Amino acid sequence: MSRHSFIYGAFVLLLASLCNRIIGFIYQILMIRLIRPEGVGLFNMIYPIYVLILVLATAGIPVAIAKLIAEEVARGNLWGAYRVFSVAFWWIVACSLFFTLILILGLPFLQNYIFPNPKVYYCFLSLIPGIIIVSLCSAFRGFFQGLQQMTPTAISQVAEQMVRVIAGLGIAWLMLPRGIEYAAMGISLGVVLGEFVGFMFMLAIYSKKRPYLPPLSAYCPVPVLTVTGQIFNLAIPVTLTRFVSTAFLTIDAMLIPRRLQIAGMDLNEATGVYGQFVGIAESLLFTPSIVTISLATALVPAVSDALAKNDLPLVRVRTEEALRLTMLAGLPATAIFLLLPRELCRIIFGYADAGMALGVLALGGPFLYLQQTTTGILQGLGRAERPLRNLLIASVFKVAGIYYLTSTLGIRGTALSFCVAYMIMALLNYRDLKNIIGLRLDFGYCLGKPLVATAGMAGVMSYVRQFIMNFGELSFFDLLVVLFLGGVTYLFLLLLSGGIHGHDLRRLTSFLGWRS
């Protein structure tokens, strides 16, 4: 197996994501306990706006870099790959400076008309330097992803996360005596410091590990306008997709607290409940994304490489493999969230009430994970307009659900609205893959066997949970026992049913550098 295959790349990112998820979980736990759900709610009210500006500042160019460089490398044209990177990098510099200036000038408007809570101003102000830093860093990550070298991205992400946690919690702790809004500002400063360190790592890796160009022979540089056209032909639909996604997240952040107030909560209570939803329930739900986002990132250059070679069967094989891995990770996680929502939220974060939202969100879990993977595949196929259209449709249903259901069902109505959106987008993405590449999944292999194993796992966990609860409330150790027995059951049933084959284990050993 090639060291730079897409599954190896996904595995490298998976290890980094797993490390980041563990660090992030500890961070989330400590943050919830330090600044409480109200502080988390304040930070998450403005973070989507920050991400929205980042989407505009990067303009989808990193994805275009990864795709176009993968195509040039597949043709053996390393000079062309560097030409793409050079042109794209200066476009990112220009875009990030422009939108940072626009944001600074627009701060008074945001403060007066957009922010749902006036306490978020300093928290948001602290994030602004991160726009240029993240934008430049994303260019280098796109460069290495195009080479199907995921290790530089993985290393920088881990370094970024560690600094973010240590600096964010430290500054928040120092600022807490001044008020919850200043503690939330400390979290923002930690984000920016982490991003800066990640960028420094990427610069160091690029200076030492970038491929050296062969001697220039007959290469004729492609005109800047031609390269720019290639970049933005892909970048614009990717940007629109991410812009729509983040814009709707921003709408969520503004709308949910206001609809919770319509349901009878005061401003501080609504901020706290919103903080529990995004900081606890969604944090747990997105745990399996360490697999799906890693796959989606690695699939863009991998699918582009296969298309450049006109190898449609390889595209289908990689797509089916990615969807199978998505289900193998997503289904057992969904079962855990459905069976143990209150216990997870109480034992890990100290807020059992957040389990009410998590239990509802879990219904949409498998669709969320499929949505993430299939979006990466469609982007790799150069059909980024399809996820954009599907996202628009799904988001309209989500916002309508939030507006009508949150005011009547509270946060459970919000969670139900998210589930409907996940389901709609995943199904629409899958339909597009069937139409574009003729995908025909073996549902028994990709879905049936993981589903049977998950059902057996759920049965064992439910029995053990009930047995322990006959003697009292679950403790942290009890939760580990339930999860361990459930996990062993799941793996055993997968092996027994053929849901995992010998080639999966051989691939794992080759990832780790072992020899069978």
- Residue identified by tokens 């796992």 is 457
What φ, ψ does residue 255 adopt, rounded to 5°?
A: -80, -40
Cα 501 to Cα 428: distance, rounded to the nearest angstrom: 30
- Residue identified by tokens 């080479």 is 147
**Per-residue DSSP letter, 242:** H
| Residues in Cβ contact with 41 at an 8 Å cutoff, skipping those fewer than 6 apart | 257, 271, 272, 273, 274, 275, 276, 278, 279
Contact 386, 432 (CB under 8 A): yes
Based on the number of CB atoms within 10 Å of its own CB, is 435 exposed (0-12), middle (13-18) or buried (19 or more)?
A: exposed
Contact 63, 300 (CB under 8 A): yes
Contact 419, 361 (CB under 8 A): yes
Alpha-carbon Rg for the chain, nearest whole angstrom, is: 23
pLDDT at 145: 80
| Residues in Cβ contact with 184 at an 8 Å cutoff, skipping those fewer than 6 apart | 35, 39, 40, 42, 43, 119, 120, 123, 172
pLDDT at 3: 42
Cα 441 to Cα 371: distance, rounded to the nearest angstrom: 16
pLDDT at 452: 92
Tokens of 445: 């292999």
What φ, ψ does residue 114 adopt, rounded to 5°?
A: -110, -50
What φ, ψ does residue 309 adopt, rounded to 5°?
A: -95, 5
Residue (of 386, 414, 94, 55) closest to 246 by Cα position: 55
Cα 270 to Cα 431: distance, rounded to the nearest angstrom: 38
CA max distance for the chain: 78
pLDDT at 260: 92
State the CB neighbour count (10 A cutoff) for residue 487: 15
pLDDT at 217: 58
Cα 301 to Cα 66: distance, rounded to the nearest angstrom: 6
Contact 206, 143 (CB under 8 A): yes
Q: From the first residue on, what is the mean pLDDT of each consecutive set of 10 residues in the chain (516 residues)?
A: 51 69 82 87 87 86 84 78 86 92 88 79 90 92 81 83 92 92 92 93 87 65 76 78 80 90 87 89 84 64 69 77 83 94 91 92 93 83 83 93 93 95 95 85 78 94 92 88 94 84 53 37
Start-to-end CA distance of the chain, whole Å, equals 13
pLDDT at 188: 92
CA distances to 80, 81, 139, 229 from 223, in Å: 11, 13, 20, 10
pTM, whole model, 2 decimals?
0.75
pLDDT at 294: 64
| Residues in Cβ contact with 30 at an 8 Å cutoff, skipping those fewer than 6 apart | 169
Cα 3 to Cα 208: distance, rounded to the nearest angstrom: 19
State the CB neighbour count (10 A cutoff) for residue 152: 22
Based on the number of CB atoms within 10 Å of its own CB, is 364 exposed (0-12), middle (13-18) or buried (19 or more)?
A: buried
Contact 68, 146 (CB under 8 A): yes
